[in-house]
Structure 1
Amino acid sequence: MTEVKHIIFDLDNTLFDFNACWEKAHRQIFFERGFDQFTTYDGFMTIYRKIDALLWEKLLAKQITLADLRRQRISLTLQTFNLDFTLLEGDAFYQDFFQLLLAELQPNQQVIDGLKELKVDYDLVILTNGLIEEQQAKVELLGLTDICPIYISEAIGYEKPDLQAFEHVMSANQFQPEQTLMVGDSLTNDIEPAEMLKMKTYHVTDDIISCLEKIQQGTFIT
């Protein structure tokens, strides 16, 4: 088997628990905004998630932008409860939510140490979808800025699962696909496109500390 020399990490839900932060920030803003006067949090989130899924389908089909998704998601959700919420208010809602999400982020020294240990034997990079300003803010708060190069979809012009996103990173770093390991939580965005390019893969399904330990020990399954 070809030796792994390079590792590409996803960021959200791979190097930190984005879903937990997302959920906590939404719960907080739901009550801060007084939406509990009109519905329960669970009732709100049931509708919110359904609309979110539908809008993501449109986003992936390039029918709407990420900004459209964010402002429409809350506006359409509140309309089901007969509440008017303009798209400008939707923008403000997202900005407030995102600040709450950022407040949840803090460095995980075990993750930092684990990445530094891997860096001794492997070339490391992070490849993440998202907006430059937002993803950079996350990386800084997580203490990952100086660990390795960070490639953000808005900056490179390609978004996973587009194969060109992976090819861009490998070309920029002179990585050979058969010597490169892709580590990520998403089968669609991370694992399947990497396998199409003949990269090795590690699907993250448990906590990141365990993942880093398995990679260090060479006991992961590709």
Structure 2
Amino acid sequence: MSLKPEKLPWSTRLTTVLFDLDDTLFDHIATARASLRASAAPLPFFQTVDFEPFYQLYSELLEEYHAQLMAGRYTYDEARRLRFERLLAPYWPDASAADVDDFVRANQLHYPLMRQPVAGALALLQALKPHYCIGIVTNNRTAEQEEKLAFLGMTDLVDALITSEEVGLPKPDPRIFEVALQRLGARPEETVLVGDNWRADVLGALAVGIRPVWVNRLGAARPLAHVAEITSFEPLEDALTVIAPAASGGRRA
């Protein structure tokens, strides 16, 4: 699979907007930080821990095991158990298997209670919905992502949810984007994809001829200058200018 992007002559007529979900519309970072802090707070070792390196290790392990999960090396339960075991090992070396299991259960309890949208995401979808087809393309389980959309009040704003579980391949594989286009009756040159992951979202979109908008909330360096970048969905008008410029047409009948 080639992921060599080139600047493409996208149509000025936009009909379809695709979004990633986690850390694009749903604020996984804020949710994960709050859940991790709440889960570890009662434990003695946490009283002297610098939270930032603790969270950074968590984030790195999540990326590592999510990739292996997408490759089919582990089940969801196995991947979750292994990453928390490795997270706790440097901080709580004498933790028993039961201790790790308790921590996993605590995090599973806290995480859904602390979910939150990315600021401005709901208003953005509400503004786009009357004019464009809206799809979600996400590397995760269908039921989990459906539940997130319902929690965020976004279900009725989305015309199609396409998941890696359903398609059998994760972003940036072209097939998952092709399924999204087919489901929405869209052409690549009339489509934009808004996402936070440079490889999965930006390079994946470029590889199939979709215009990407990179959600760069953390202020990372932009590898390709011609790719549109957005750091926030607020103010709404500024976000709409980047995602759906005034020169674009309306939604197809």
218 and 209 in structure 1: CA distance in 2 versus 1, 3 angstrom threshold: farther
Separation in 2 of the partners of 1:74 and 1:169? 33
Is it true that 1:196 corresponds to 2:221 in the alignment?
no
| SS of equivalent to 2:129 | helix
Separation of aligned partners in 2, 1:111 and 1:200: 19
Matches within 5 A, 1:138-149: 138-148=148-158, 149=160
TM alignment of 1:5-20, pairs within 5 A? 5-20=15-30
- Please tell me whether the aligned partners of residues 40 and 103 of structure 2 are also in contact (alpha carbons under 8 angstroms): no
Aligned CA distance change for structure 1 residues 213 and 154 (closer, same or farther; 3 Å):
same
Equivalents in 1 of 2:102, 2:142: separation in Å? 19
Normalising by structure 1, report the TM-score: 0.82
Choose the corresponding residue for 1:161, options 169, 172, 178.
Answer: 172
In structure 1, stretches of 5+ residues that fail to align are none
Task: Please tell me whether the aligned partners of residues 184 and 203 of structure 1 are also in contact (alpha carbons under 8 angstroms).
Answer: yes
1:209 corresponds to 2:219:
no
Distance, in Å, in 1 between the alignment partners of 2:121 and 2:163 is 20
| Mapping of residues 4-153 of structure 1, within 5 Å | 4-36=14-46, 39-42=49-52, 44-56=54-66, 58-59=68-69, 62-80=72-90, 81-86=92-97, 90=100, 93-106=103-116, 110-148=120-158, 149-153=160-164
AA aligned opposite 1:24: A
Q: Look up the equivalent residue of 1:176 and give its one-letter code.
A: R
Structure 2 residues without counterparts, runs of 5 or longer: 1-9, 217-230, 249-253
Partner Cα separation in structure 2 for residue 57 and residue 158 of structure 1: 12
Hey, which of these two has a bigger chunk of helix by percent?
A: 1
Distance (Å, rounded) in 2 between the aligned partners of 1:218 and 1:94: 47
Q: Note the C-alpha offset of 1:172.
A: 1.7
Q: CA RMSD of the aligned region, Å?
A: 2.9
Percent identical pairs in the alignment equals: 26
Q: Which residue of 1 aligns with 2:220?
A: none
Deviation at 1:67, TM superposition (A): 3.0
Provide the C-alpha distance between the structure 2 equivalents of 1:95 and 1:138, rounded to a whole number of angstroms. Answer: 19
The one-letter code of the counterpart of 1:8 is: L
CA 1:201–1:74 in structure 2 vs 1: closer, same or farther (change >3 Å)? Answer: same
In structure 1, distance between residues paired with 2:60 and 2:117: 32
Tell me the SS of whatever aligns to 1:120: coil
- Comparing 183-192 with 96-105, greater Cα deviation is found at 96-105
Q: Is the 8 A contact 1:126 1:150 kept in 2?
A: yes
- Distance of 2:174 and 2:99 partners within structure 1: 36
TM-aligned CA distance change 1:76 to 1:85, over 3 Å: farther
In 1, the alpha carbon distance for the partners of 2:164 and 2:105 equals 20
